[in-house]
Structure 1
């Protein structure tokens, strides 16, 4: 839907973890072997998946609880620590760091935030992550705060719907939207290969976005205006609902399950949402070709994107890994930093995740609000 009043994206801050948190893939495999965490067959399986993943073997980030540089590789003692206390430490570091960077970029004070929305699928503590930020930054009592859990990778895009609706209902407001997936509790120490894949792909990261309906206050400073957004949810289908889920394996060990049908079900959801958004961004030929596939190469072919167009997504995957709901915001930051966005450009943001759900946001770089 198109917003009833201008919804501005003032700025984005993608969190950069400390340099010492960069994880060495080879060191991690050594840790797994020396501590008998996985069998040799499982280690070889992980190596094959990682080789095709697009992640750099030394550039992505993991927190000390999982990072072999901090865990150590001593036999029998160097093991990941996916405990709640370490999860809380990671969440505070990422979300507070992301928000501090956003406040510094925009000049916004914590007291100027009227609406706060956080999202993290697996780690959902009590008090909530939104409450953690309110306490840390000493935000005012009148703030509207919400935490969204269990919504997966798509929620960095789909969550914009909620922020949009809250801003439509509350004039003259600033809203901050924060995305992350805390990697510590998502670590899977079991032996189901469907769940092992997430250990290989998901990495530490988070992003903070300032959205506002205060057009006069942010005139000349806001980067984008929300032109159109749409979402679909195909979870009424059992195949889609079970394709991605977090829960126990047959030994009772929790992990994120990725079914073999993930690509098929995600493609169905993405095709539906793109038919809705297509008239706003796609040519007739692109719409006709779109249904071929949703994965990065197939999406590029359907939309007639060349390697130059796909390079930002590949670069983010290479240097940061899959940072779940934050991935598209890292990609936007990369485009702005490396390429630049010109006045009149439109940016299409696409997210697919568990449920299965899919969302698309179309942002326009048009300062004439």
Structure 2
């Protein structure tokens, strides 16, 4: 666990970082929406920090094994029963792969269909879920294990390019393990039924492709730059994804309103504003990826969402930070810990990230989900929500101009 102050201090001590860069990071981190109880890699707190492969592998083992161990304890599933394994981690691409790490640790069978997804950013967790869904359509009576994580050890930037410091301010350690089944006998014991998956990819548009970009700075230090095009690229990708998803989840009344509005705007009828469908009529719970406070603010504004609809996202960002592809699972766990998931409820997870990509997954609750002991929020859920009104807004000046 690491406070914002400690994160800044560690960067100052061991990164050969200039004073103005430290001041910039300190100003940034106060605007992220993160609290003082998020988690960083153990390697960062060592003296000096161990940010090499050994430290990164240790972080991956801690997070991945911890998540899978809890999943197996919950489900009482024998490891040999797992027929499909999909692992996603964007920036830690190690040999052997993380999927091999899991097969070795849990002694999965030789015939397991194993996939390792890298370089696909924060939306990769839901894309991995979509891949598992497709594989389950052709592998009968199977279990699919999806593991979503990110690696901070090799993603922490210790240079002086300010455009790369958003990563240090936002991203924190986290991970999730999800078990999917197409066995009819598991229907009664399952929490959710997977209803829809929709994936969009806007990399054909150059600003979308380059708005989050890993490269070297002038000193040869590797980091991830974030440009001013980020918010525009995110909204563009989200709009494309939502436009595809809307017809399959919205009631007819909302579809008609949307269609009439679209036709009128195509006919250039004056003073006609785009109609934002009421997704509250289609889903009961909305969990957008916690990319950062400015992205959540923009998403809330564009989709006309209430503060209540954004609560799980903002509290996840505050408590755990941006855990990349696993963030939407922390949000779902928040709603479960609050006792808000009732039988028949529809749950919409949406994640977006570098590329630029956006993925939506819609679930239906098969039962009312009671509070569980093995939930990351269990020991402190009654302390939330917390008041975030004192968090200062971001300025567009904090983003690096696009090339």
**TM-score of Structure 1 vs Structure 2, range by shorter chain:** 0.7 to 0.9
The 1-side partners of 2:11 and 2:91 are apart by 24
Measured in 1, the distance between the counterparts of 2:212 and 2:221 equals 16
**1:54 is the counterpart of 2:33:** yes
Deviation at residue 35 of structure 1 after TM alignment: 4.7
Q: Which of structure 1's runs of 4+ aligned residues deviate more than 6 A?
A: none
Q: When the two structures are aligned, how many residues end up with a matched partner?
A: 332
Alignment partner, residue 319 of structure 1: 319
1:362 and 1:300 map into 2 onto residues whose CA distance is 19
**Structure 2 portions without partners, runs of 5+:** 259-273, 278-293, 368-403
Q: Is the Cα contact below 8 Å between 1:31 and 1:79 reproduced in 2?
A: no
Q: SS at the partner of 2:179?
A: strand
Show the 5 A alignment for 1:250-289: 250-282=218-250, 283=254, 288-289=275-276
Task: Measure, in 2, the Cα distance between the counterparts of 1:289 and 1:157.
Answer: 24
Shift, 1:280, TM fit: 3.4
Task: Give the direction of change, closer, same or farther, for the CA distance of 1:211–1:317 in structure 2 (3 Å limit).
Answer: same
Which of 7, 13, 16 does residue 28 from structure 1 map onto?
A: 7
CA 1:162–1:43 in 2, change beyond 3 Å: closer, same or farther? Answer: same
Mapping of residues 169-318 of structure 1, within 5 Å: 169-215=138-184, 217-282=185-250, 283=254, 288-289=275-276, 295-318=295-318
SS in 1 for 2:215: strand
Residue pair 1:158, 1:351 contacting (<8 A) in 2 also: no
- Distance in 1 between residues matched to 2:85 and 2:110, nearest whole Å: 12
- Tell me if structure 2 keeps the 8 A contact 1:227–1:363: yes
CA shift in 2, pair 1:112/1:35, >3 Å: closer
Shift of 1:337: 1.1
User: Which residue pairs with 1:155 in the alignment?
Assistant: 124
Aligned equivalent of 2:50, options 63, 67, 81: 81
For 1:7, the equivalent position in structure 2 comes to none
Q: What is residue 59 of structure 2 aligned with on the other side?
A: 90
Q: Name structure 1 gaps, 5 residues minimum.
A: 1-21, 72-77
Q: Deviations over 1:277-297 (max 9, x none)?
A: 11234445788237xxx9322
Instruction: Report how far residue 88 of structure 1 moved.
Output: 0.5
Deviation at 1:310, TM superposition (A): 1.0
SS, match of residue 66 in structure 1? helix
Offset at 1:274? 0.2
Aligned to 1:5: none
Partners of 1:111 and 1:319 in 2: CA distance: 35
Match of 1:331 in 2: 331
> Greater relative contact order (Cα 8 A, min sep 6): structure 1 or 2?
1
TM-score (norm 2): 0.79
* CA separation of 1:340 and 1:239: change in aligned 2, threshold 3 A: same
CA offset digits 1:111-160 (Å, max 9, x no partner): 11110110001111111101001111111111111100000001111222
Tell me whether 1:103 sits opposite 2:72 in the alignment.
Answer: yes
Looking at structure 2, the residues matched to 34 and 226 of structure 1 have their Cα atoms a distance apart, in angstroms, of 47
